[in-house]
Protein backbone atom coordinates (compact mmCIF):
# COMPACT_ATOMS: atom_id res chain seq x y z
CA UNK A 1 0.00 0.00 0.00
CA UNK A 2 1.24 3.49 -0.80
CA UNK A 3 2.51 5.33 2.28
CA UNK A 4 0.89 8.73 1.77
CA UNK A 5 2.54 10.22 4.85
CA UNK A 6 5.99 9.39 3.48
CA UNK A 7 5.06 10.63 0.00
CA UNK A 8 3.85 13.94 1.45
CA UNK A 9 7.06 14.20 3.52
CA UNK A 10 9.20 13.66 0.41
CA UNK A 11 7.16 16.26 -1.48
CA UNK A 12 7.60 18.82 1.30
CA UNK A 13 11.35 18.18 1.48
CA UNK A 14 11.85 18.69 -2.27
CA UNK A 15 12.59 22.08 -3.85
CA UNK A 16 9.52 24.33 -3.74
CA UNK A 17 7.95 25.82 -6.84
CA UNK A 18 6.73 24.74 -10.23
CA UNK A 19 9.18 22.42 -11.91
CA UNK A 20 9.68 22.73 -15.66
CA UNK A 21 11.85 21.16 -18.32
CA UNK A 22 14.77 23.28 -19.51
CA UNK A 23 18.20 23.11 -21.16
CA UNK A 24 21.02 23.50 -21.87
CA UNK A 25 21.43 20.70 -24.39
CA UNK A 26 22.51 17.94 -24.66
CA UNK A 27 21.60 17.65 -20.96
CA UNK A 28 17.97 17.98 -20.04
CA UNK A 29 17.38 19.80 -16.79
CA UNK A 30 14.38 19.99 -14.50
CA UNK A 31 14.32 23.63 -13.40
CA UNK A 32 12.40 25.82 -10.98
CA UNK A 33 11.84 29.59 -11.18
CA UNK A 34 13.42 31.33 -8.19
CA UNK A 35 12.83 34.93 -9.31
CA UNK A 36 10.09 36.10 -11.66
CA UNK A 37 12.24 38.84 -13.18
CA UNK A 38 10.78 42.27 -13.84
CA UNK A 39 9.33 44.24 -16.70
CA UNK A 40 9.52 47.94 -17.37
CA UNK A 41 12.33 49.99 -18.91
CA UNK A 42 15.08 47.52 -17.97
CA UNK A 43 13.35 44.14 -18.25
CA UNK A 44 15.04 41.19 -16.64
CA UNK A 45 14.13 37.63 -17.55
CA UNK A 46 13.03 35.18 -14.86
CA UNK A 47 15.82 33.43 -12.99
CA UNK A 48 15.79 29.63 -12.93
CA UNK A 49 17.82 27.14 -10.93
CA UNK A 50 18.28 23.47 -11.75
CA UNK A 51 16.52 20.90 -9.59
CA UNK A 52 18.07 17.90 -11.30
CA UNK A 53 19.74 16.95 -14.56
CA UNK A 54 18.47 14.01 -16.58
CA UNK A 55 21.21 12.49 -18.71
CA UNK A 56 20.97 10.36 -21.80
CA UNK A 57 23.79 8.70 -23.70
CA UNK A 58 24.61 11.33 -26.29
CA UNK A 59 27.76 11.51 -28.38
CA UNK A 60 29.66 14.73 -29.02
CA UNK A 61 28.06 15.21 -32.44
CA UNK A 62 24.42 15.09 -31.34
CA UNK A 63 23.13 18.64 -31.00
CA UNK A 64 19.44 17.88 -30.51
CA UNK A 65 17.93 17.02 -27.12
CA UNK A 66 17.67 13.29 -26.44
CA UNK A 67 14.03 12.23 -26.57
CA UNK A 68 14.19 9.82 -23.62
CA UNK A 69 15.78 12.40 -21.33
CA UNK A 70 13.11 14.94 -22.31
CA UNK A 71 10.38 12.37 -21.61
CA UNK A 72 11.93 11.54 -18.22
CA UNK A 73 12.30 15.19 -17.24
CA UNK A 74 8.73 15.92 -18.33
CA UNK A 75 7.47 13.04 -16.21
CA UNK A 76 9.49 14.18 -13.18
CA UNK A 77 8.10 17.71 -13.37
CA UNK A 78 4.51 16.50 -13.96
CA UNK A 79 4.71 13.94 -11.12
CA UNK A 80 6.01 16.63 -8.75
CA UNK A 81 3.03 18.82 -9.58
CA UNK A 82 0.53 15.95 -9.25
CA UNK A 83 1.63 14.47 -5.90
CA UNK A 84 -0.53 16.63 -3.57
CA UNK A 85 -3.70 16.11 -5.60
CA UNK A 86 -3.02 12.38 -6.03
CA UNK A 87 -2.51 11.97 -2.26
CA UNK A 88 -5.77 13.82 -1.57
CA UNK A 89 -7.64 11.63 -4.08
CA UNK A 90 -6.22 8.39 -2.64
CA UNK A 91 -7.26 9.48 0.87
CA UNK A 92 -10.77 10.35 -0.38
CA UNK A 93 -11.14 7.00 -2.14
CA UNK A 94 -9.80 5.07 0.86
CA UNK A 95 -12.47 6.73 2.99
CA UNK A 96 -15.15 5.64 0.49
CA UNK A 97 -13.83 2.07 0.34
CA UNK A 98 -13.79 1.90 4.16
CA UNK A 99 -17.58 2.39 4.17
CA UNK A 100 -18.22 -0.54 1.80
CA UNK A 101 -19.06 -4.02 3.03
CA UNK A 102 -15.87 -6.07 3.03
CA UNK A 103 -14.81 -9.65 3.25
CA UNK A 104 -13.25 -10.74 6.54
CA UNK A 105 -9.84 -10.31 4.89
CA UNK A 106 -10.59 -6.67 3.95
CA UNK A 107 -11.58 -6.83 0.27
CA UNK A 108 -14.67 -4.77 -0.71
CA UNK A 109 -17.58 -7.01 -1.66
CA UNK A 110 -19.39 -6.44 -4.93
CA UNK A 111 -22.25 -8.27 -6.63
CA UNK A 112 -20.97 -11.01 -8.94
CA UNK A 113 -17.64 -11.55 -7.19
CA UNK A 114 -16.51 -14.99 -6.12
CA UNK A 115 -16.19 -15.44 -2.36
CA UNK A 116 -15.35 -18.25 0.04
CA UNK A 117 -16.71 -19.21 3.42
CA UNK A 118 -15.03 -21.37 6.04
CA UNK A 119 -17.76 -24.00 5.80
CA UNK A 120 -19.32 -23.97 2.34
CA UNK A 121 -16.55 -23.22 -0.13
CA UNK A 122 -16.98 -21.11 -3.24
CA UNK A 123 -20.01 -18.99 -4.04
CA UNK A 124 -21.05 -15.88 -5.96
CA UNK A 125 -22.38 -12.72 -4.28
CA UNK A 126 -25.97 -12.12 -5.42
CA UNK A 127 -26.81 -9.08 -3.29
CA UNK A 128 -25.39 -7.04 -0.43
CA UNK A 129 -27.30 -5.84 2.62
CA UNK A 130 -25.49 -3.68 5.17
CA UNK A 131 -22.78 -6.00 6.55
CA UNK A 132 -23.94 -9.31 5.11
CA UNK A 133 -24.28 -10.76 1.63
CA UNK A 134 -26.56 -13.24 -0.07
CA UNK A 135 -24.38 -15.86 -1.77
CA UNK A 136 -25.38 -18.55 -4.26
CA UNK A 137 -23.26 -21.61 -3.63
CA UNK A 138 -21.33 -23.03 -6.57
CA UNK A 139 -22.41 -26.62 -5.84
CA UNK A 140 -26.13 -26.11 -5.47
CA UNK A 141 -29.12 -23.95 -6.31
CA UNK A 142 -29.60 -22.48 -2.87
CA UNK A 143 -28.69 -19.11 -1.48
CA UNK A 144 -27.51 -18.32 2.06
CA UNK A 145 -26.76 -15.18 4.02
CA UNK A 146 -23.19 -14.74 5.23
CA UNK A 147 -21.44 -12.23 7.42
CA UNK A 148 -17.97 -13.77 7.25
CA UNK A 149 -16.79 -14.20 3.68
CA UNK A 150 -13.25 -14.33 2.32
CA UNK A 151 -11.83 -13.17 -0.99
CA UNK A 152 -9.65 -16.25 -1.53
CA UNK A 153 -9.81 -19.93 -0.68
CA UNK A 154 -6.47 -19.61 1.18
CA UNK A 155 -7.88 -16.86 3.43
CA UNK A 156 -10.99 -18.95 4.23
CA UNK A 157 -8.89 -22.04 4.99
CA UNK A 158 -6.53 -20.03 7.22
CA UNK A 159 -9.50 -18.67 9.16
CA UNK A 160 -10.97 -22.16 9.53
CA UNK A 161 -7.59 -23.49 10.75
CA UNK A 162 -7.28 -20.65 13.28
CA UNK A 163 -10.69 -21.47 14.74
CA UNK A 164 -9.89 -25.15 15.06
CA UNK A 165 -6.66 -24.51 16.99
- Which has the closest alpha carbon to 127: 119, 118, 139, 136? 136
| Predicted TM-score (pTM) of this structure | 0.65
Q: Are residues 12 and 93 in the same domain?
A: yes
Q: Does the structure show a pLDDT above 60 at 134?
A: yes
55 shares a domain with 31: yes
- The rounded percent of the chain whose pLDDT value lies above 70 is 78
pLDDT class for 26, splitting at 50, 70, 90? low
Asked if residue 58 and residue 136 are part of one domain, the reply reads no
Q: What domain range is 134 assigned to?
A: 114-164
Average pLDDT over residues 136-159: 78
pLDDT tens digits along 79-122: 999 999 999 999 999 999 888 888 888 888 888 888 888 876 78
Asked if residue 109 belongs to a domain, the reply is no
Residues 93 and 33 in one domain: yes
Q: Choose the most confident range, by mean pLDDT, from 4-13, 32-41, 139-148.
A: 4-13
85 found inside a domain: yes
In sequence order, what DSSP letters do the residues of the chain get, joined into one string? ---HHHHHHHHHHSPPS-EEEE--SSSEEEEEEEE--B-SSS-B--EEEEEEEE-----TT--SPPHHHHHHHHHHHHHHHHHHHHHHHHHHHHHHHHTS-B-TTSPBP-TT-EEEETTTEEEEEEEEETTEEEEEETTSS-EEEES--BSSHHHHHHHHHHHH-
78 and 132 co-located in one domain = no
Q: Which of 64, 98, 132 is the last residue of a domain?
A: 98
Q: What is the pLDDT of residue 87?
A: 97
Q: Are residues 71 and 10 in the same domain?
A: yes
How many structural domains are present in the chain? 2
Q: Is residue 107 part of a domain?
A: no
Amino acid sequence: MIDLTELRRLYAAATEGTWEVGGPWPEVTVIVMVDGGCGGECPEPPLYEPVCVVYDCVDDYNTSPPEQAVADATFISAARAAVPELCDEVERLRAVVATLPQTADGVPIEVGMSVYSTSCGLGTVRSIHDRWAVVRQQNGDFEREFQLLYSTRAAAEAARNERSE
